[in-house]
């Protein structure tokens, strides 16, 4: 895929946490087509973060890709180390996934040096691969048993994660997407005004 997108001209890929889990990760885990089908699968242990260009989907200064949760987070020149607490991802009031934050460290595990590379790794909530939505707390025991069987029979699918990698120039950028797309829209407006002032 080479990081290229099949989006129409003028459209940019700027998904929220909910978008990534509900519209991409959930469908990937359920073996359903993702539309648009633009996010590739990457073997994380084969790449350092600065080598993702041309391999993962690039959207601005961020890279997106599917991977497997069970994979080693050790790469050729370092490893991804979890930081902070896991965050929940919700959709329509339901918890549909978890977001883990990791920082890339060069060197050997437990002896490495932190870099500015950050990764958000999104996991489905248990049973979250069901595209019909989150489970109701009033579900019958029989439906829960049938769901458990489906979870066990779909172990490989449920191990899918979706990752967002970016290089942070300051600590505040780690939570850049927490404010949603409204912040991005404002940033684009201000940047366009700056460009206009320079031209005039």
Q: What is the domain-level CATH number for residue 25?
A: 2.170.150.80
Instruction: Give me the torsion for CA of 116, 82, 179, 9, rounded to 10°.
Output: 70
Whether residue 179 lies inside any domain: the answer is no
Whether residue 163 lies inside any domain: the answer is yes
> How many domains are there within the chain?
1
Instruction: Print the domain residue range for 120.
Output: 17-128+159-167
Query: Hey, CA dihedral for 16, 23, 84, 78, is it positive or negative?
Result: negative
Of 71, 61, 165, 169, nearest to 118 (Cα)? 165
Residues 42 and 113: beta-carbon distance below 8 Å:
no
Whether residue 140 lies inside any domain: the answer is no
**Burial group, residue 25, by CB count within 10 angstroms (0-12, 13-18, 19+):** buried
pTM over 0.75: no
pLDDT in tens, the chain (200 residues): 445 556 667 778 889 999 999 999 999 999 998 877 899 999 999 999 999 999 999 999 999 999 998 667 899 999 999 999 999 999 999 999 999 999 999 999 888 999 999 999 999 987 555 554 554 443 444 444 445 545 444 455 568 999 999 999 864 344 434 434 333 444 444 444 444 455 54
């Amino acid at each position: 895929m080479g990081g290229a997108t099949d989006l129409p001209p003028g459209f940019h890929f700027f998904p929220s946490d909910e978008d990534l889990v509900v519209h991409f990760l959930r469908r990937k885990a359920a073996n359903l087509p993702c539309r648009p089908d633009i996010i590739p699968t990457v073997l994380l242990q084969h790449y350092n973060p600065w080598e993702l260009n041309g391999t993962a989907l690039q959207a601005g200064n961020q890279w997106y890709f599917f991977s497997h949760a069970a994979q080693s987070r050790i790469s050729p020149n370092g490893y991804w180390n979890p930081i902070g607490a896991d965050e929940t991802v919700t959709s329509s009031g339901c918890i549909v996934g978890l977001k883990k934050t990791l920082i890339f460290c060069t060197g050997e595990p437990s002896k490495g040096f932190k870099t500015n590379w950050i990764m958000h790794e999104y996991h489905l909530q248990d049973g979250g691969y069901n595209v019909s939505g989150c489970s109701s707390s009033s579900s019958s025991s029989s439906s829960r048993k049938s769901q458990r069987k489906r979870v066990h029979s779909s172990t490989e699918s449920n191990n899918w994660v979706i990752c967002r990698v970016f290089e942070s120039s300051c600590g505040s950028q780690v939570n850049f997407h927490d404010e949603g797309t409204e912040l991005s829209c404002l940033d684009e407006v201000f940047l366009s005004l700056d460009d206009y002032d320079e031209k005039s």
